[in-house]
Amino acid sequence: MKQAIGVLLLIFSMTYLGQAQDIAGDWQGTLKTGGAELRLVLHIMRNPDGSLKATMDSVDQGANGIPIKSASLNNSKLTLDVPAVNGSYEGTVNKDASGIDGTWTQSQSLPLDFKRTTTPIKTEHKPAQPSDIDGAWMGTLDSGAVKLRVVFHITNTEDGLTATMDSPDQGMNGMPTTSVTRNGAALKIEAKQIGGSYEGTINKDLSQIDGTWSQGAGSLPLVLKRVKDAAELNRPRPQNPVKPYPYRDEDVSYKNTQQNVTLAATFTVPTGKGPFPAVLLITGSGPQDRDETIMGHKPFLVLSDDLTREGIAVLRADDRGVGKSTGKFSGATTADFATDADAGIAYLKTRPEVDPHKIGLVGHSEGGMIAPMVAARNPDVAFIVMMAGSGVPGDQILPEQLLQLDLAAGKSRDEAQKAAEKEREILTLVESEKDDAVLQKDLRQKLAGEVPEAQMGAQITAITSPWFRFFLTYDPATALRKVKCPVLAINGEKDRQVSPEQNLPAIRQALTEGGNKHFEVVELPGLNHLFQTAKTGAVSEYAQIEETMSPLAMKTIAEWILKQ
């Protein structure tokens, strides 16, 4: 599915968060991540309009001033959104506003309680006269499999040089680094919270820094160049629609009463007289916003715009626990996300602009697995579109995915097959060992030397999670055999994450075995997992390609839906 892109760089590991009643002030807590304890400090301030703003420090990692995008307090429930480290926090403030009991979520959920501090904590740096290297510096890490831009924002302060770090292609911005030291032309920047550091040499005209990024046991060359224009930091995305749209868009919300989750969404309605056919877009794996934002692209924004212009109403929602949606993402399985899709269908039935007999599902990647799960049991689904959906269990998809990605990255077939075999061994271990404590111990031994120690805990937690265990063993063919409504299954020829050779025949076979006579299975030439026109299909191309979604893919989807 949409693979977590963790190359050497930017797996922004477990860290951070908290707050309270009149909760302005400083708060301290300790996050226990399995073998490590991280002391965290939360600074909460109140804006003149009464709203909250906050930053966070990770004391043991030397990371101060981590930006918190949003902080809200509602009936003693504190919610924090920290996109700089892809994390969030939910806690309950006690009656006397002296403590907060809650949970920090970042690829896994961990308990995190805060206590109000009685003495002020000062971590801010006062600005000083700018140095000759103040400003933004950008370079690209090329691991073969992935190319990721890295940006350091360097600032001189009364306490010396400081820096924050961005990974624009992963949507990570403003992560404080631990230390910045300079000795003449030699520069070193450390980011202990991700186990990384950069060492380079500043050239004489102060336009370039030649150096190396190190993380864990590996390193990659990284040449930084001074950013003269902020526009350089943003790759062009020409397909993103610009308002005013030739249709109506509305922010809405609806409830999944079965699991007490409220989904926040955007509903777009074509111009003209309805009722219109409608679709619910279902995102791929991992916490996704309603636009399915990835590496600077917004595939669902572009697809929604195209479908709405073609006369199809579209509903697209933030995943549970993401953006403005409530609930927790971690701990949920694909089957849980399917109930969120049921709630979306129920909502569409309440809209007078929608023809209740023409409501369909369009799912991408994991969403392409969810669509038939829902359609198999929900008679309100009139049709489904599977975009890079799977036809075989996850324990078959993942080794093939690793093989294909390694080949696309230029590795020999022998190297790629050996790596895929190691992957199979790990997956077999996860499937066979039901005792989590034993499994975690065995995985630590298995992954020793393969995964940096700083990332080991997060990796093990991810592959022992309920979602992962479900994904490994769930056979999509089970639901596909029960789907009686029309089905369009499409894959890109160059999809390296959900192989068309592996999955399209399996989808066709399952639908045929179930007696479905209204389906089309199509392999689209030259397209990757995101349905971009690609050269190799490697993940490293995703951010570099200007096209967000091929017009061929969107035309194929729209024309097929309008036929139903």
| Per-residue confidence (pLDDT) for residue 388, from 0 to 100 | 98
pTM above threshold 0.95: no
Task: Based on the fold, state whether residues 263 and 342 are members of the same structural domain.
Answer: yes
Query: Region 200-228: what's the mean pLDDT?
Result: 92
Residue predicted with more confidence, 52 or 391: 391
Task: Based on the fold, state whether residues 376 and 460 are members of the same structural domain.
Answer: no
Q: Check: CB of residue 388 under 8 Å from CB of residue 364.
A: yes
Task: Based on the fold, state whether residues 451 and 350 are members of the same structural domain.
Answer: no
Q: How confident is the model at residue 75 (pLDDT cuts 50, 70, 90)?
A: confident
Beta strands in 227-269 (DSSP E): 248-256, 261-269
| Per-residue confidence (pLDDT) for residue 553, from 0 to 100 | 98
Q: Check: CB of residue 227 under 8 Å from CB of residue 135.
A: yes
Q: How confident is the model at residue 531 (pLDDT cuts 50, 70, 90)?
A: very high
Last residue of one domain, picked from the residues 471, 490, 519: 471
* Number of domains within the chain: 4
Supply the DSSP symbol for 540: G
Most confident of the ranges 63-67, 103-107, 411-415: 411-415
The tokens of 59 are what? 């004391």
Task: Based on the fold, state whether residues 361 and 484 are members of the same structural domain.
Answer: yes
Residue 194 has pLDDT above 90, yes or no: no
| Per-residue confidence (pLDDT) for residue 19, from 0 to 100 | 28
Task: Based on the fold, state whether residues 155 and 35 are members of the same structural domain.
Answer: no
Residue predicted with more confidence, 540 or 385: 385
Residue 481 domain flag? yes
Residue 9 domain flag? no
Q: What percent of the chain has pLDDT over 70?
A: 92
Residue 20 domain flag? no
Q: Distance (Å, rounded) from C-alpha 167 to C-alpha 545?
A: 17
Coil, helix or strand at residue 32: strand
241-245, 308-312, 352-356, 459-463 — which is least confidently predicted? Answer: 459-463
Q: Distance (Å, rounded) from C-alpha 41 to C-alpha 63?
A: 10
Q: How far is CA 330 from CA 205, 219, 259, 337, in A?
A: 48, 31, 14, 11
pLDDT digits (tens, 9 = 90+) for 539-552: 888 988 999 999 99
Q: Distance (Å, rounded) from C-alpha 327 to C-alpha 510?
A: 34
* CATH number for 61: 2.40.128.120
Task: Based on the fold, state whether residues 357 and 281 are members of the same structural domain.
Answer: yes
Considering Cα of 12, then 14, then 20, then 26, what sign does the dihedral take?
A: negative
Task: Based on the fold, state whether residues 479 and 507 are members of the same structural domain.
Answer: yes
Query: Region 532-560: what's the mean pLDDT?
Result: 94
Q: How confident is the model at residue 198 (pLDDT cuts 50, 70, 90)?
A: very high
Residue 10 has pLDDT above 60, yes or no: no
Q: How confident is the model at residue 85 (pLDDT cuts 50, 70, 90)?
A: confident
Phi first, then psi, for residue 516 (nearest 5°) are -75, 125
Residue 62 domain flag? yes
| Per-residue confidence (pLDDT) for residue 437, from 0 to 100 | 85
Last residue of one domain, picked from the residues 442, 471, 500: 471
Q: How confident is the model at residue 7 (pLDDT cuts 50, 70, 90)?
A: very low
Task: Based on the fold, state whether residues 387 and 272 are members of the same structural domain.
Answer: yes
Mean pLDDT across the chain: 88
Q: How confident is the model at residue 118 (pLDDT cuts 50, 70, 90)?
A: low
| Per-residue confidence (pLDDT) for residue 83, from 0 to 100 | 81
| Per-residue confidence (pLDDT) for residue 107, from 0 to 100 | 66
Residue 155 domain flag? yes
Cα–Cα nearest to 302, from 554, 492, 546: 554
Q: Distance (Å, rounded) from C-alpha 119 to C-alpha 132?
A: 37
Residue 243 domain flag? no
Residue 13 domain flag? no
pLDDT digits (tens, 9 = 90+) for 262-306: 999 999 999 999 899 999 999 999 889 999 999 889 999 999 999
Residue 496 has pLDDT above 60, yes or no: yes
Task: Based on the fold, state whether residues 485 and 467 are members of the same structural domain.
Answer: no
142-146, 254-258, 354-358, 432-436 — which is least confidently predicted? Answer: 142-146
Q: Distance (Å, rounded) from C-alpha 250 to C-alpha 510?
A: 38
| Per-residue confidence (pLDDT) for residue 453, from 0 to 100 | 65
Q: Is the peptide bond before 127 cis (omega within 30 degrees of 0)?
A: no
Last residue of one domain, picked from the residues 203, 233, 263: 233
Considering Cα of 57, then 61, then 62, then 66, what sign does the dihedral take?
A: negative
Residue 3 has pLDDT above 90, yes or no: no
User: Side chain identity at 195, as an amino acid letter?
Assistant: G
Task: Based on the fold, state whether residues 344 and 492 are members of the same structural domain.
Answer: yes
* CATH number for 299: 3.40.50.1820
Q: How confident is the model at residue 145 (pLDDT cuts 50, 70, 90)?
A: low
Coil, helix or strand at residue 51: coil
Residue 227 domain flag? yes
Task: Based on the fold, state whether residues 464 and 500 are members of the same structural domain.
Answer: no
Domain extent, residue 213, equals 135-233
The tokens of 552 are what? 């061929």
Residue 47 has pLDDT above 70, yes or no: yes
Residue 429 has pLDDT above 90, yes or no: yes
Task: Based on the fold, state whether residues 482 and 430 are members of the same structural domain.
Answer: no
Q: Distance (Å, rounded) from C-alpha 156 to C-alpha 161?
A: 4
Query: Region 89-115: what's the mean pLDDT?
Result: 86
Q: Distance (Å, rounded) from C-alpha 503 to C-alpha 497?
A: 11
* CATH number for 146: 2.40.128
